[in-house]
Amino acid sequence: MPAPPAAASRRFLWSLLNSVGISGEEGEIRFTQRRDDRHEGLHLITRHFRAEQDISATVASREIPMQRGEHIGLNFQYTYTPDAFRWLLRDQGGLEIVREYESPDARFLTAICRK
């Protein structure tokens, strides 16, 4: 399973929320991590803000009210094992992997491919 959310990711998300007038005292950012059953090794991470009180956000000079308990979907990302990455490239993308390069810390894999 993927690692817990990094502090840098939370700071980035808060900066987006702050830009529309939402502060940390008004709610919380929640991360959800789950396995994607479509293929072994795929993991989906979603992020959303949950209002702890009635608030409003200002977008393009328009005030948008939110009630306590409402959510704002922020973004999502996939993480995957090296085998799942290869499956995505070959089976889903129709690519041939020509060469692979692993990062020095073995956390990342880069692939050179051809169609």
Pair 88, 45 in one domain: no
For tokens 């499956």, the residue is: 87
What span, in angstroms and rounded, lies between the C-alpha atoms of 100 and 115? 16
pLDDT band at 75 (very low <50, low <70, confident <90, very high): confident
Check whether 2 has a pLDDT greater than 90: no
Q: Are residues 106 and 57 in the same domain?
A: no
Q: Are residues 55 and 97 in the same domain?
A: no
What's the DSSP call for residue 26?
G
Give the domain extent around 27: 1-80
- Parallel, antiparallel, or unpaired for β 42-51 and 71-80? antiparallel
User: In the predicted model, what is the mean pLDDT of the chain?
Assistant: 92
DSSP character at residue 41: T
Instruction: Quote the CA–CA distance of 101 and 106 in Å, as a whole number.
Output: 10
* Total number of domains constituting the chain: 2
**104 lies in the same domain as 64:** no
Shared-domain flag, residues 23 and 41 = yes
pLDDT above 70 as % of the chain: 96
Residues 27 and 58 grouped into a single domain: yes
What confidence tens digit (pLDDT) does each residue in 29-60 have?
Answer: 999 999 999 899 999 999 999 999 999 999 99
On whether both 68 and 86 belong to a single domain, the answer is no
**Statement to judge: residues 71 and 105 lie in one domain:** no
pLDDT of amino acid 21: 95
Helices marked H in 52-105 — which ranges? 82-87
pLDDT exceeds 60 at position 85: yes
Predicted confidence at residue 88, as pLDDT, reads: 95
